[in-house]
Structure 1
Amino acid sequence: MAGSESGAAARGLLNGGDGGGPEGKRPRLGPTPASPSGPKPGNRVTVVLGAQWGDEGKGKVVDLLSLDADLVCRCQGGNNAGHTVVVDSVEYDFHLLPSGVINHNATSFIGNGVVIHLPGLFEEAEKNLKKGPGLEGWESRTVISDRAHLVFNFHQAADGIQEQQRQQQAGKNLGTTKKGIGPAYACKASRTGLRICDLLADFNEFSKKFRALAQHYKATYPTLNIDTEAELEQLKVYAEKIRPLVKDGVYFMYQALHGPPKKILVEGANAALLDIDFGTYPFVTSSNCTVGGVCTGLGIPPQYIGKVYGVVKAYTTRVGVGTFPTEQDNEIGALLQSRGREFGVTTGRKRRCGWLDLVLVKYAHMINGFSA
Structure 2
Amino acid sequence: MAVADIITGMVADVTTILDTARKNGDNILFEGAQGTMLDIDHGTYPFVTSSNTTAGGVATGSGFGPRNLDYVLGIIKAYCTRVGGGPFTTELFDEVGTEIARKGNEFGAVTGRPRRCGWFDAVAIRRAIQLNSISGFCMTKLDVLDGFDEIKICIAYKMPNGEIVEYAPLSAKDWEGIEPIYETLPGWKEIRSVLLM
Measured against the shorter chain, the TM-score band is 0.5 to 0.7
The residue number in structure 2 matching 1:287 is 51
1:350 corresponds to which of 108, 111, 114: 114
Aligned-residue offset at 1:289: 0.9
Does residue 128 of structure 2 align to residue 364 of structure 1? yes
- 1:275 is matched with 39
**Shift, 1:244, TM fit:** 2.1
Listed one character per residue, the Cα deviations across residues 41-80 of structure 1 (whole Å, up to 9, x for unaligned) are: xxxxxxxxxxxxxxxxxxxxxxxxxxxxxxxxxxxxxxxx
1:3-30 alpha-carbon deviations (Å, 9 max, x no partner): xxxxxxxxxxxxxxxxxxxxxxxxxxxx
> Which residue number in structure 2 is paired with residue 240 of structure 1?
5
Of 90, 95, 109, the residue aligned with 1:326 is 90
Pick closer, same or farther for the CA change 1:346–1:271 going to 2, 3 Å: farther
Task: Give the alignment of 1:144-293 within 5 angstroms.
Answer: 236=2, 238-258=3-23, 260-293=24-57
Alpha-carbon shift at residue 346 of structure 1 (Å)? 4.7
> Counterparts of 2:95 and 2:11 in 1: how far apart (Å)?
50
Deviations 1:316-367 (A, max 9, x none): 1111011100000111111111111111235433211110111100111011
- Higher relative contact order, chain-length normalized (CA < 8 Å, sep 6+): 1
Q: CA–CA distance in 1 between the matches of 2:111 and 2:70?
A: 33
Distance 2:15 2:6 in 1: 22
Would the aligned equivalents of 1:315 and 1:354 in 2 still touch at CA under 8 Å? yes
Q: Hey, what's the Cα distance between the residues in 1 that align with 2:33 and 2:113?
A: 18
**1:71-120 CA distance string (max 9 Å, x none):** xxxxxxxxxxxxxxxxxxxxxxxxxxxxxxxxxxxxxxxxxxxxxxxxxx
Instruction: Tell me which moved more, 331-340 or 346-355.
Output: 346-355
Q: Whose strand fraction is larger, Structure 1's or Structure 2's?
A: 2
TM-score, scaled relative to structure 1? 0.35
- In structure 2, the residue corresponding to 1:247 is in which secondary structure? coil
Query: How many Å apart are 1:282 and its aligned residue?
Result: 0.6
Name the SS of the counterpart of 1:268 in structure 2. Answer: coil
Cα 1:239/1:252, change in 2 over 3 Å: same
| Identical counterparts, % of pairs | 47
SS in 1 for 2:70: strand
CA drift of 1:294 comes to 1.1
Partner of 1:297: 61
The 2-side partners of 1:365 and 1:330 are apart by 29
CA contact (8 A) 1:343 1:351 kept: yes
1:241 positional shift: 3.0
Structure richer in helix, relative to its length = 1
**Counterparts of 2:12 and 2:111 in 1: how far apart (Å)?**
31
* Distance verdict in 2 for CA 1:368–1:255, change over 3 Å: same
**What whole-Å deviation, never above 9, does each CA across 1:123-148 have from its counterpart, x for those lacking one?**
xxxxxxxxxxxxxxxxxxxxxxxxxx
Question: Counterparts of 2:32 and 2:83 in 1: how far apart (Å)?
Answer: 17
What's the TM-score once normalised by structure 2's chain length?
0.64
Return the alpha-carbon distance in structure 1 between the equivalents of residues 92 and 62 of structure 2.
38
> Could you tell me whether the CA contact under 8 Å between 1:319 and 1:349 is conserved in 2?
no
- Secondary structure of the residue aligned to 1:370 is coil
Question: Judging changes above 3 Å, is the alpha-carbon distance between structure 1 residues 346 and 269 closer, same or farther for their aligned structure 2 residues?
Answer: farther
Alpha-carbon contact 1:290-1:368 (below 8 Å) kept: yes
Q: Point out where structure 1 has 5 or more consecutive residues left out of the alignment.
A: 1-232
Cα separation, 1, equivalents of 2:110 and 2:21: 31
Corresponding residue number in structure 1 for 2:160: none
Q: Work out the CA distance in 2 between the residues paired with 1:261 and 1:247.
A: 21
Counterpart residue identity of residue 359, structure 1? V
Structure with the greater alpha carbon radius of gyration: 1
Question: Within 5 Å, which residues of 2 pair with 1:47-196?
Answer: none
The answer for the alignment partner of 2:70 in structure 1 is 306
